Amino acid sequence: MKKSYRCWAEIDLDALRGNLAWIRHRVGKDAKVITVVKADAYGHGLRQIAALLMQSGTDVFGVANLAEATAIRSVGKGWPILMLGACLPDEIEVAVRDGVMPTISSLAEAELFSSAAVRLGRTINVHIKIDTGMGRLGVAVSEAASLIDAVTSLAGLKLSGLYTHYASAEDDARLSRQQCERFQQVIGRVLKQHAVEYVHANNSAAVLFEPCNLFNTVRPGLLVYGVLPTGKRRLPPGLLEHIQPALRWKCRVSFIKDVPAGTGLGYAQGFVTRRKKTCVATITAGYGDGYLRSGSNRAKVLIHGKRCPVLGRITMDQMLVDVSSVGNVGIGEEVTLIGPQGNDVIGVSEVADWCGTIPWEVLTNITYRVPRVYQGQQAA
Ligand SMILES: *Cc1c(COP(=O)(O)O)cnc(C)c1O
């Protein structure tokens, strides 16, 4: 079956389900989970992942735009959806109609939502975001109280959530502590007066590093897919035994040749061989599939369970790798770009390091050209 693909991603739905179960175990049964599925579920395929997360009992979906919300609704109705971005003026009515919970950072936004809700005869649940140090969206801490008062008195709005976002939870314990304290200051007063269903701050890194301050809801993305946020902070060993990467990225060998020393390879002859004889394999993945070109001359892939260095520049559809140490590689054989093969494994974070980026970008960069093949009990 998979032999008909040149470059594909295998998604293990059992791993995903296990990761969500681990997150639930970590945060306790009283905490709600907003699973973040923006950017095509971090490249894993939004519809399939939404279906799986519905079956596995997620509480809320977090999205980056309204098209993602519509895709989720097409899979199953009834799940609350939180729009993490700010709605543009022309999206406000659509969000209200679709029953998507918006993020509100200012009185002006609150008023637009209120009048749209009144016009359409609806009451909508809204989340107010507090900027405690991320500087992207959210009301300033000093203005939070008056925005919250305004929202609770505007027609057509129900204050359903209060949240903030950590700027550096995987790196900076001090900043995270500060952000947490600022958030607590704001919510402490509000929660005495209003019942708020969702109070949340913790992305994946904060689920791992700030377990004492989960509020009543967490908001993980990367961790759901089994990938760890890379940073300076270290976790106790053994903590993540049960977290499993859900995605394996593969392609195939399409051509093999032996070349002598001094052979230039690829565009601009970005690599020139030095050994007397180098066995070079051409493989069927490139930056057109989303493998970042910055991995040129740095990245590695697995063939027969052995690490093969990428030689020269990664091109749109193909790249060259050194298979001299592998021996007897056949045309059509499987290459692992991300995931285990034999006794070795290439992690998303490792690829991110080679490409000078972060695991989130490696995953969301995998393009539409790469079919997602689902495996595990609930694969359709
Ligand atoms: C993307 C995002 C998340 C999830 O972040 P991870 O680091 O992937 O866990 C949580 N909250 C907001 C506001 C986001 O934009």
d(CA 312, CA 267): 8
Which residue, judged by its Cα, is nearest atom 14 of ligand 1?
84
Q: What is the DSSP string of 206-252?
A: HHHH-TT--TTEE--SGGGGT-PPPSS--PPTTTTTT----EEEEEE
Q: Are 163 and 201 in contact (CB under 8 A)?
A: yes
Ligand 1, closest atom to CA 222? 8
Ligand 1, closest atom to CA 163? 13
Ligand 1, closest atom to CA 36? 4
Q: Could you report how far apart the first and last alpha carbons of the chain are, in Å?
A: 15
Q: Which of 2, 257, 267, 277 is catalytic?
A: 267
**Cα 339 to ligand 1 centre (Å):** 23
d(CA 104, CA 116): 14
**Cα 274 to ligand 1 centre (Å):** 45
Ligand 1, closest atom to CA 137? 13
Residues of the chain with pLDDT under 70: 1-3, 378-380
Residue 191 pLDDT: 92
Which residues, 6+ apart, have CB-to-CB distance to 183 below 8 Å? 130, 132, 164, 201
CA–CA–CA angle 357, 134, 230 (5° rounding): 30
d(CA 133, CA 312): 41
Kindly list the protein residues whose Cβ atom lies closer than 6 A to any atom of ligand 1: 36, 38, 84, 165, 203-205, 219-223, 229
Residue 299 pLDDT: 98
Instruction: Find tokens 């007066």 and name the residue.
Output: 193
**Cα 123 to ligand 1 centre (Å):** 27
β-pair partners for 303: 306
Distance of CA 67 to the CA centre of its chain: 17
Ligand 1, closest atom to CA 220? 9
Residue 148 pLDDT: 97
Q: Which of 32, 38, 250, 300 is catalytic?
A: 38
Residue 114 pLDDT: 98
Residue 293 pLDDT: 98
**Cα 201 to ligand 1 centre (Å):** 9
Best residue for ligand 1 mutational test, from 84, 105, 132, 364 (most atoms within 8 Å of Cβ): 84
β-pair partners for 326: none
Q: Are 271 and 312 in contact (CB under 8 A)?
A: yes
**Cα 140 to ligand 1 centre (Å):** 20
Residue 320 pLDDT: 98
Which residue, judged by its Cα, is nearest atom 15 of ligand 1?
84
Best residue for ligand 1 mutational test, from 22, 32, 36 (most atoms within 8 Å of Cβ): 36
Which residue, judged by its Cα, is nearest atom 10 of ligand 1?
203
Q: Is 267 a catalytic residue?
A: yes
Residue 4 pLDDT: 86
Residue 347 pLDDT: 98
d(CA 41, CA 319): 27
